[in-house]
């Protein structure tokens, strides 16, 4: 990892001018720590130099990673599931698991040889 200097900051700005990027992508390209990039993006967002244009979803489908875009703009809103939607998703997952277990048959094999 490298220290924040004019070159790494310039590289980060060039990448943002090319298009939207996540902090992870910016950290990979510049060699900076993700935390350093997040702090820089937060400061730049406060000064209306960049804004969060979208959110990338994680494995569970929740909005997790902000996508930064150069220029002022309205911050993208994170989508939220209601309690009823979370419960319905959980119940569907449990039903699917039970169905798989029901059709899978016995899980232990006994060999009497």
Each of the 113 residues of the chain gets a pLDDT tens digit; together they read 445 688 888 999 999 999 999 999 999 999 899 999 999 999 999 999 999 999 998 877 788 899 999 999 999 998 887 888 888 988 999 999 988 888 876 666 666 66
CATH architecture classification, 6-78 = Orthogonal Bundle (1.10)
- Residue 109's pLDDT is what? 66
**Residue 51: partners with Cβ closer than 8 Å, 6 or more residues away:** 45, 68, 69, 71, 72, 73, 74, 75
For residue 106, what pLDDT is reported?
Answer: 66
Res 100: pLDDT = 87
Q: Which of 66, 6, 49, 2 is nearest to 30 (CA)?
A: 2
- Judge if pTM exceeds 0.75: no
State the Cα–Cα distance between residues 113 and 108, nearest whole angstrom: 16
Query: Where are the domains positioned within the chain?
Result: 6-78
């Amino acid at each position: 990892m490298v220290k924040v200097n004019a070159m790494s900051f310039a590289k980060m700005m060039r990448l943002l001018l090319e298009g939207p990027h996540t902090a992870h992508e910016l950290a990979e390209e510049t060699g900076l720590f993700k935390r350093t990039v997040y702090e820089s993006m937060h400061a730049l967002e406060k000064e209306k130099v960049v804004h969060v244009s979208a959110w990338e979803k994680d494995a569970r489908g929740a909005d997790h990673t902000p996508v930064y875009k150069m220029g002022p703009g309205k911050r993208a809103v994170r989508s939220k599931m209601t309690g009823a939607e979370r419960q319905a998703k959980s119940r569907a997952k449990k039903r699917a698991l039970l169905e798989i277990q029901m059709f899978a048959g016995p899980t232990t094999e006994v060999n009497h040889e």
